[in-house]
Amino acid sequence: MVNSLRTKLSMSYVIAAVIIVFLINALTNLFVVEHFREYVNENQQLRNKEIVATLAAQYKGNDNWNIDSVASIGESYLINGIIIKVKDINGKTLWDAKEHNNGMCQQIIEHMAANSNGIAGSKEAKYTEVPYSLYNNLNKVGVVEIGTYGPNYLNEHDKAFIDAFNNVLIGVGLFSLVFALILGWIMSRWLSSPISRVISAAKSISKGYYSERINRISNTTEINELTSTVNQLAESLEKQEALRKRLTGDVAHELRTPLATLQSHMEAMIDGIWEADAERLKSCHEEIVRISKMVGDLEKLTKYEGDKPVLDKELFDIAELAKRLIQNFESQFLNKGLNIEFIGDSTEINADRDKISQVIINLLSNALKYTPVGGLVKVVIKSDPNDVILAIKDNGPGIPGEDLPYIFERFYRADKSRNRLTGGSGIGLTISKAIVAAHGGSIGVQSSPDTGTEFTVTLPKLKA
Ligand code: ADP
């Protein structure tokens, strides 16, 4: 059965209260009432001894039974609800409460029966007259029979005490129930209202309101964790959404120019304004190559950006990898009249070899593209106990200060006119940054027109 947290908490409090009240009742009845009954029986014994002592004292005073004194003692007990019958040593009745006032005796017996009703063990209770011998100086002088209702007879005071006691227990029980209900209600409100807040925020997020955040801090650890998890979820959805929008916008923007150029060139040729000669077709072909390179780069970028890219890590020597990649580039560097140097010792690293190759290739090809003829490119590998630092430095024209903060952004090109010539799409550094970040590393740049540009990649060495 599906119930709200509020109902469940309130119910559990009530059930706990009922069980506790029931146990308290059972235990108090078991111990307190039992002890009280012993106390009542002891009281009865004391009262009986007192009756015997009073009658014996009367005999002793007169050295014989004085009928009037015995009668006045019997009457005073009868007024107090005690039925007695006094006999002398020969069994002759001296005073009998029933003979004296039978109606009153019957009333007393009925009253005693009524007082015993409803008390545990009262079923076997009945009226008996218990005989007690009366002595004068160790000589038996008579017998007194005391009317007793038992076992478990309670007199007025005893009964009042038990009733009051039971009333207190009932009161405590009722109070506990009401208290449990109120406490359950307060607790459930206290717990469920932050959960309701999380639910309503999650509903808004699911409807696409990714900027929704839960700002209230709860003093319950789990609720705080839940809140921050939902906030993180919203934040990551918001980022993804922004990334998606930006990507779509950027792609449309980047493709518009080459497509428009292509379209106008083609139309001019179709309309016969331009002749479809080799040079014009070559220019169109170059635009198409640019577009397909951009699409290829975008494909790579979506793989590395956004969701965490899957890394296929292995242990390898990054210095050896860098040397091999430099060799691949060697002829292109020679053709452009550039020098390339490598400094570094073999250094083991736990990383995705293919993706790190991609980073080195991007940085080398940038150095190749942007360093003018006669320039020098240095590749340095250093390491400290935790990190490997790969630096690729050229003595080219540098990157203008105002462009530096943006060069890692998608489609950002520092020098648009020169980039048209170099064919850069402004995605290479974005891809490199995403790969390095996925490895838990960082990439930085230092550049000035005098000294050239230096890219520094820091990667954790052996992080699993
Ligand atoms: P691109 O495909 O245009 O080279 P990148 O993301 O690799 O894209 O680089 C972004 C921009 O940063 C480049 O367009 C260029 O203006 C600048 N840049 C990158 N590397 C260098 C470098 N070594 N020297 C000068 N400018 C550079």
* Residue 452 Cα: closest atom of ligand 1: 24
Cβ(375) to ligand 1 under 6 A?
A: no
- Which amino acid residue places its CA nearest to atom 21 of ligand 1? 366
For tokens 């932050």, the residue is 194
Alpha carbon of 350 to ligand 1 centroid (Å): 28
Cβ(218) – ligand 1 distance below 6 Å: no
Which residues touch 262 (CB under 8 Å, ≥6 apart)?
284, 287, 288
Residues with Cβ < 8 Å from 36, sequence gap 6 or more?
158, 161, 162
Distance (angstroms) between ligand 1 centre and the Cα of 189 equals: 58
* Residue 429 in contact with ligand 1 by CB distance below 6 A: yes
Q: Measured in angstroms, how far is the CA atom of residue 448 from the centroid of ligand 1?
A: 14
- CA-nearest residue for atom 16, ligand 1, is 414
Give distance in angstroms: CA of 369 to centre of ligand 1.
8
Separation of 377 CA from ligand 1 center, angstroms? 15
Give yes or no for residue 411 CB within 6 A of ligand 1.
Answer: no
Can you list the alpha helix ranges (DSSP code H) found in 117-155? Answer: none
Q: How many angstroms separate the alpha carbon of residue 426 from the centre of ligand 1?
A: 7
- Domain-by-domain residue ranges, the chain? 5-170, 239-303, 309-460
Architecture of domain 239-303: Orthogonal Bundle (1.10)
pLDDT for res 343: 97
Q: Give the ligand 1 atom nearest the CA of 455.
A: 23
CA of 461 from ligand 1 middle (Å) equals: 27
Q: Is 58 in the pocket of ligand 1 (CB under 6 A)?
A: no
**Identity at 450, one-letter amino acid code:** D
Question: Cα of 252 to ligand 1 centre, how many Å?
Answer: 21
Atom 4 of ligand 1, residue of closest alpha carbon: 424
The pLDDT, as a whole number, for residue 345 is 93
Q: How far does residue 108's CA lie from ligand 1's centre (Å)?
A: 116
453 CB under 6 A from ligand 1? yes
Measured distance CA(87)–CA(432) in Å, rounded: 122
Burial of 251 (0-12, 13-18, 19+ CB in 10 A): middle
Q: What angle do CA 389, 392, 397 make, to 5 degrees?
A: 145
Q: What is the pLDDT along the chain (464 residues), one digit of tens a residue?
A: 677 877 888 888 889 888 988 898 888 878 887 787 788 788 888 989 999 999 999 888 778 888 898 899 999 988 888 899 999 999 899 999 898 888 988 888 888 777 765 554 445 667 888 899 999 888 899 999 998 877 666 777 777 887 888 888 888 888 888 888 888 888 888 888 888 889 999 999 999 898 889 888 888 888 899 999 999 999 989 888 887 787 788 788 778 878 888 999 899 999 999 888 898 899 889 889 888 988 888 888 877 776 667 889 999 999 999 999 999 999 999 999 999 999 999 999 999 999 999 999 999 999 999 999 999 999 999 998 889 999 999 999 999 998 898 899 888 887 655 445 556 678 899 999 999 999 999 999 999 988 999 999 999 987 55
Whether the Cβ atoms of residue 455 and residue 343 lie closer than 8 Å to each other: no
**Beta-carbon count within 10 A of 458 CB:** 19
Q: Which of 251, 185, 247, 198 lies closest to 224 in space, CA to CA? A: 198
- CA of 4 from ligand 1 middle (Å) equals 59
DSSP for 226-255 reads: HHHHHHHHHHHHHHHHHHHHHHHHHHHHHH
User: 5-170 adopts what CATH topology?
Assistant: Beta-Lactamase (3.30.450)
Q: What is the DSSP letter of 17?
A: H
Choose one of 366, 371, 395, 419 to mutate for the ligand 1 pocket test, by most ligand atoms within 8 angstroms of C-beta. Answer: 366
Residue 126 neighbours by CB under 8 Å, 6+ apart: 149, 150
Residue nearest to atom 7 of ligand 1 (CA): 428
Residue-wise DSSP of 284-350:
HHHHHHHHHHHHHHHHHHHHHSSSPPP--EEEEEHHHHHHHHHHHHHHHHHHHT-EEEEEE---EEE
Task: Label residues 354-371 b or e (16+ Cβ within 10 Å = b).
Answer: ebbbbbbebbbebbbbbb
**pLDDT for the residue numbered 423:** 60
* CATH number of this structure's domain 309-460, picked from the four choices 3.30.70.141, 3.40.630.30, 3.40.190.80, 3.30.565.10: 3.30.565.10
- Rounded to the nearest whole angstrom, what is the distance from the C-alpha of residue 119 to the centroid of ligand 1? 99
Place of tokens 């003018």: 372
- Would you call 127 helix, strand, or coil by DSSP? strand
Could you say which DSSP state residue 218 is in? P
Is ligand 1 within 6 A of the CB of residue 180? no
What is the spatial distance between Cα 305 and Cα 296, in angstroms, rounded to a whole number?
A: 14
pLDDT in tens, 303-320: 777 666 788 999 999 999
Is the CB of 415 inside a 6 Å radius of any atom of ligand 1?
Answer: yes
CA–centroid distance, residue 129 to ligand 1 (Å): 120
- Minimal-distance CA residue to ligand 1 atom 13: 413
| Residue 90 Cα to ligand 1 middle (Å) | 137
- 380 forms beta bridges with 343, 391
CB 141 within 8 A of CB 135: yes
Q: Return the ∠ at Cα 283 (arms to 281 and 286), rounded to 5°.
A: 110
428 CB burial (10 A radius; 0-12, 13-18, 19+): buried
In this structure, the residue with its CA closest to atom 23 of ligand 1 is 367
Pick the atom of ligand 1 nearest to 394's CA. 23
